[in-house]
Amino acid sequence: MKSKNFFLKKKIKVKDIFPKSKIKKNFYINNITSLETAGFNDISFFDKINYKDVAEKTKASLCITTKNLEKFLPNTVDRIIVRNVLFELSLILKKLYPNSDVDFPDLSLKTAKNKNFKSVNFGNNVLVGKGVKIGKKTTIGSNTIIESKVEIGDNCVIGSGCIIKNSIIGKRVMIQDNCKIGQKGFGFIPNKNKNIKFPHIGCVLIEDDVEIASGCTIDRGSIDDTIVGKNTYLDNQVHVAHNVKIGSNCMIAGQVGFAGSSSIGNNVSIGGQAGVSGHLKIGNNVKIGGGSGVVKDIEDNQIFMGYPAVPLKEFLKKK
């Protein structure tokens, strides 16, 4: 599934943002993205040592980083050395994508009409924004809002009272009532008496045959996208924060919470009310017991339980 840009981007050169820097090439900025996905004329950022392996291979043209970390970047990458990477990144994002730090209401919304969406079934008072695409034989429940540029595939069922923005949804996806998908995540930089809002320029990608139960919240990505893989099921009231990537064939029980930038493998099962901390990697075929608190990476084929979550055998010894 291919991502797309939902936000207006300004045409800006690097030296318009960094006028005092000694950058070798003054290029028009293509995008701001992660070390792993960055390419020619992209700006990336490097703020944690645990991303060292990715930093060494990045193809970004420019990277915002610190004095201690710059040595891990390839010689082909220009550097902007700062004290607070995320603070500087938030300022740059705001300049390049000026409307990405606040979720303004979509004023283009109009009542959906079947003549514009052939073979789509609409309930009462469904509102649709500009540029929305909805596939054949899809059903949209009453009082649901589909904001501008959202794409929904064939044979989907979207419940009543949902709000979907900044999202691309595959085929045969079921989203039950009162879900909120694609809104800005929880991100800010503390700065004396005022918090700086961190812009969110990513989107939500929901792949084929996913089922999302009632009252779930899935935030769009801040830099990269938030992704839910094929044939994954989310129970009621699951929260998926920005940049989270959930693999295929996962089963996530009610009230599970994923903090930002956590990565979940394929065939993962998580019991109710468990929590996964941010920037963690959970391997394939992992099982996590209900009520657990995951605070470190978990390798493939493991069973973890407890708070903090530990391997099942270790958990049972403590009983």
pLDDT digits (tens, 9 = 90+) for 157-196: 999 999 999 999 999 999 999 999 999 999 888 777 788 8
What DSSP string runs through 40-94? TTEEEEE--GGGHHHHTT---SEEEE-TTTGGGS-TTSEEEE-S-HHHHHHHHHH
pLDDT, tens only, 98-147: 888 889 899 999 999 888 898 999 999 999 999 999 999 999 999 999 99
242 is catalytic: yes
- Domain 14-96 in this protein, CATH class: alpha beta
Q: Which of 200, 239, 242, 279 is catalytic?
A: 242
Q: How far is CA 264 from CA 33, 120, 252, in A?
A: 20, 33, 11
Tokens at 237, concatenated = 């009231």
Burial class of residue 154, CB neighbours in 10 A (0-12, 13-18, 19+): middle
What is the average pLDDT across 203-224? 97
What Cα–Cα distance (Å) separates residue 177 from each residue in 75, 164, 212, 258? 51, 12, 9, 21
**Both tokens assigned to 219:** 């935030």
